[in-house]
Chain A
């Protein structure tokens, strides 16, 4: 039951593996409210759970019924979940609604979970991109427009409404048990597409470390924009091997070809046409600002992260 002397935190995307871990860490110390658009999440006793779309009517009722102190906005609709318009509505309009409601109901802190995709993958990218680097993702494809727009929206509110205490986190690839983002679905597969002659550097973060980062950002409350990434790097094709996957070489020239192949074979969930460039060119983040501001350091290394996918495949093989 909600207790008066504890802060109330609303967590979106509660059905996802990252949000679940964030909720588990908050539980007990805060009154948590779980929200998801996909399904009503089974939660521990004392955590109210709602099935609601952020840009629909019912979302406001939650703010009316509970005195929400902080929002941790993790929920995001992925490209493979609905079509482009629905995704735009859910992600961009949903975030705008969330920020407007936060203002209306006096929420004092908002954490927004963004992505490194906003920087865009380009051959001209320097490594160790700072938070000030331009967000070039929408240049390349309309399918990432929503990610960039969520960010610019959050940015506008960050400067216009300092009382909302907005913190935007841009993590690198988050992997681990239960994670259902594109990269995790990809590396869980036995046969994985790679572009011939291209193996960009990548950064990976264990979902537990990311959950920890979100809690630190929430409790530290230092508004701003932060990259969240470790100081360790691995080329994509090596990550594929380390995860126990076999490589499926895809011709990379002309540039249209891999996109066409991905589209024709409907690889939307794990190797979508609009993310092809991220398997070709690097997007390496400078994570120093976050590490130093919040005293965060990932506890799990690359081998810990990859071994989960490796063991998963061995187990599947043994079961057969």
Chain B
């Protein structure tokens, strides 16, 4: 009998998160799934709905996100969304994901690349998979682009998310992998300049020995273990198309083009920001 009360509470909480609006958004995302609602990577519609409901609240109420240029994300077809990474925890990825999933110009499931150690963590690995996250393996990305999916990539990786506050809004070294993916799979690149996430978790120092000991990418010294409620500005740029090229030097040039575009988009976000928190 007692469990009835609990069940009721859970259902009420779920009803609060999975609003008819969320139901409708997820239903209109062009994403084929198998007979039990799963895709090959473990994405699951039902769990995505709940998470989207929760993250949409974060998006609107906590980080009070302002997004521009959402119409640059194609309503269907393969695309790589390339952003600047920051803020220790991947809140930037979550916000871009919510922006894509709630896009009034056509909602998309934008898949995030997760760290390689996540699948070894109980529950967390499966859970992130259910929300659309996959490990950042080039094979995974190529297969997903082949299936006309949208992928979020932070080419800076942990170099970007783990950097200290004094280096905020400075792009770290970009890997060339995303450019190869875009060229080999003829996928457009939509750059997104993210402003605000640097301030959600400003790190004063990085305790490298501790990180090594724990087997994690970095161990920042931060004022708060929870992300601070900084306002977030997302500026999506026009899709960039790249045809294939022969040598790696040319690839690097193209990566620089994307970086230049990102710098401009970040600058735009910084200009429009009137208050950090």
Tell yes or no: A234 within 8 A of B by CB: yes
Among A32-40, A278-286, A307-315, the one that faces the other chain is: A278-286
Task: State which residues 113-148 of B face A: CB under 8 Å.
Answer: 116-117, 119-126, 129, 134-135, 137, 139-140, 143
Interface centre among A123, A129, A195 (most CB of B within 10 A): A123
Tell yes or no: B215 within 8 A of A by CB: no
Complex CA gap A234/B42 in Å reads 8
Tell yes or no: B36 within 8 A of A by CB: yes
Do residues B135 and A128 form an inter-chain contact, with CB atoms below 8 A?
no
CB-defined contacts of B41 to chain A, threshold 8 Å:
127, 201, 284
CB-defined contacts of B20 to chain A, threshold 8 Å:
none
Size bin of chain B's contact surface = 20 to 34
Do residues A197 and B122 form an inter-chain contact, with CB atoms below 8 A?
yes
Per-position binary interface string of chain A over residues 187-206, scored 1 when its CB falls under 8 Å from any chain B CB and 0 otherwise: 00000000111111100000
Do residues A127 and B122 form an inter-chain contact, with CB atoms below 8 A?
no
Do residues B140 and A234 form an inter-chain contact, with CB atoms below 8 A?
no
CB-defined contacts of B119 to chain A, threshold 8 Å:
123-124, 281
Complex CA gap A198/B127 in Å reads 10
Task: State which residues 70-102 of A face B: CB under 8 Å.
Answer: none
CB-defined contacts of B140 to chain A, threshold 8 Å:
126-127
User: Shortest CB–CB separation between residue A243 and chain B, in angstroms?
Assistant: 13
Tell yes or no: A232 within 8 A of B by CB: yes
Complex CA gap A302/B35 in Å reads 7
Q: Which of A130, A198, A301 contacts B126 (CB 8 A)?
A: A198
Complex CA gap A128/B139 in Å reads 9
CB-defined contacts of A131 to chain B, threshold 8 Å:
none
Do residues B137 and A124 form an inter-chain contact, with CB atoms below 8 A?
yes
Query: Given the interface contacts A124-B135, A126-B143, does A282 sit within 8 Å of B42 by beta carbon?
Result: yes
Do residues B137 and A303 form an inter-chain contact, with CB atoms below 8 A?
no
Do residues A301 and B143 form an inter-chain contact, with CB atoms below 8 A?
no
Do residues A127 and B40 form an inter-chain contact, with CB atoms below 8 A?
yes
Per-position binary interface string of chain A over residues 241-266, scored 1 when its CB falls under 8 Å from any chain B CB and 0 otherwise: 00000000000110000000000000
Do residues B126 and A199 form an inter-chain contact, with CB atoms below 8 A?
yes
CB-defined contacts of B129 to chain A, threshold 8 Å:
201
User: Shortest CB–CB separation between residue A219 and chain B, in angstroms?
Assistant: 29
Tell yes or no: B277 within 8 A of A by CB: no
Tell yes or no: A233 within 8 A of B by CB: yes
Tell yes or no: A235 within 8 A of B by CB: yes
Tell yes or no: A231 within 8 A of B by CB: yes
Task: State which residues 266-308 of A face B: CB under 8 Å.
Answer: 281-282, 284, 286, 301-303
User: Shortest CB–CB separation between residue A33 and chain B, in angstroms?
Assistant: 39
Residue of A nearest to B147 (CB): A128
Q: Which of B40, B116, B124 contacts A124 (CB 8 A)?
A: B116
Task: State which residues 26-42 of B face A: CB under 8 Å.
Answer: 34-36, 38-42
Residue of A nearest to B130 (CB): A235
Complex CA gap A232/B40 in Å reads 7
CB-defined contacts of B135 to chain A, threshold 8 Å:
123-124, 126
Do residues B35 and A286 form an inter-chain contact, with CB atoms below 8 A?
no
Tell yes or no: A238 within 8 A of B by CB: yes
CB-defined contacts of A124 to chain B, threshold 8 Å:
116, 119, 135, 137
Q: Which of A232, A252, A281 contacts B34 (CB 8 A)?
A: A232
Do residues B134 and A127 form an inter-chain contact, with CB atoms below 8 A?
yes
User: Shortest CB–CB separation between residue A166 and chain B, in angstroms?
Assistant: 26
Interface centre among B35, B40, B123, B129 (most CB of A within 10 A): B40
User: Shortest CB–CB separation between residue B142 and chain A, in angstroms?
Assistant: 9
Residue of A nearest to B138 (CB): A126
Do residues A196 and B35 form an inter-chain contact, with CB atoms below 8 A?
no
Complex CA gap A158/B121 in Å reads 40
Do residues B35 and A303 form an inter-chain contact, with CB atoms below 8 A?
yes
CB-defined contacts of B116 to chain A, threshold 8 Å:
123-124
Do residues A201 and B143 form an inter-chain contact, with CB atoms below 8 A?
no
Per-position binary interface string of chain B over residues 129-171, scored 1 when its CB falls under 8 Å from any chain A CB and 0 otherwise: 1000011010110010000000000000000000000000000
Complex CA gap A238/B46 in Å reads 14
Complex CA gap A201/B134 in Å reads 13
User: Shortest CB–CB separation between residue B117 and chain A, in angstroms?
Assistant: 8
CB-defined contacts of B38 to chain A, threshold 8 Å:
201, 233-235
Q: Which of A126, A197, A233, A303 contacts B39 (CB 8 A)?
A: A233
Task: State which residues 2-57 of B face A: CB under 8 Å.
Answer: 34-36, 38-42
CB-defined contacts of B36 to chain A, threshold 8 Å:
232-235, 238, 302
Residue of A nearest to B120 (CB): A123
Complex CA gap A71/B105 in Å reads 57
Closest 4 pairs between A and B when the two form their complex, measured CB to CB: A197-B122, A123-B119, A126-B139, A232-B34
Extra inter-chain contacts (9) besides given A198-B122, A231-B34, A233-B42, CB under 8 Å? A127-B42, A195-B122, A196-B122, A200-B42, A200-B126, A232-B34, A234-B36, A235-B36, A253-B122
A→B interface (CB under 8 Å): 123-124, 126-130, 133, 195-201, 231-235, 238, 252-253, 281-282, 284, 286, 301-303
